[in-house]
């Protein structure tokens, strides 16, 4: 948990969100500023700032995020979609708590 992290606050319920999935490793909720018809963020409950900060111990977690994204996409009847991590300021990352964008139309 990082005190200044908006996604940690969402995970803790301090900031409200419309959670569509939650398990022991991650939560998922709609992006507040959707760039596609379906735009969902899959966010690990563990605070890891960026992909650059991942350790080997996080490999299972990262695979889990992709599996959750696939399951949500199926529920949303998305035939095709994009999965995206923005990495670092120059990679377009604004929130420094790893999250996977699921985007589909
Ligand atoms: P990134 O640029 O990869 O760091 O993406 C951060 C995303 O978080 C952006 O698409 C924002 O629209 C989204 N976002 C920021 N604050 C919230 C929030 N309170 N609830 C849902 N999504 C948010
Ligand atoms: Zn955080």
Write the CATH number for 46. Answer: 3.30.428.10
Burial class (CB in 10 A: 0-12, 13-18, 19+), 41: buried
Residues flanking ligand 1, CB < 6 Å:
6, 15, 17, 29, 31-33, 41, 86, 92-95
Q: Is residue 61, in this structure, part of any structural domain at all?
A: yes
SS3 track for 65-95: HHHHHHHHHHHCCCCCCEEECCCCHHHCCCC
The whole domain housing 43 covers: 6-104
Pocket-testing residue among 9, 31, 103, ligand 1, by greatest number of atoms within 8 A of Cβ: 31
Nearest atom (ligand 1) to Cα of 31: 22
Q: Is residue 56, in this structure, part of any structural domain at all?
A: yes
pTM exceeds cut of 0.95: yes
The pLDDT, as a whole number, for residue 91 is: 98
pLDDT tens, residue by residue, 11-62: 999 999 999 999 999 999 999 999 999 999 999 999 999 999 999 999 999 9
- Scanning the structure block, which residue is given the tokens 């670092």? 88
Q: Is residue 1, in this structure, part of any structural domain at all?
A: no
């Amino acid at each position: 948990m990082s005190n200044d992290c908006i996604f940690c606050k969402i995970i803790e319920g301090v900031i409200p969100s419309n959670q569509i999935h939650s398990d022991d490793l991650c939560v998922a909720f709609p992006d507040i500023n959707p760039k596609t018809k379906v735009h969902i963020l899959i966010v690990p409950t563990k605070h890891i700032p960026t992909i650059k900060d991942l350790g080997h111990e996080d490999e299972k977690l990262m695979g889990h995020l992709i599996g959750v994204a696939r399951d949500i996409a199926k529920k949303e009847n998305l035939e095709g979609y994009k999965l995206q991590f923005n990495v670092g300021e120059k990679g377009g990352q604004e929130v420094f708590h790893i999250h996977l964008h699921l985007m589909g139309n």
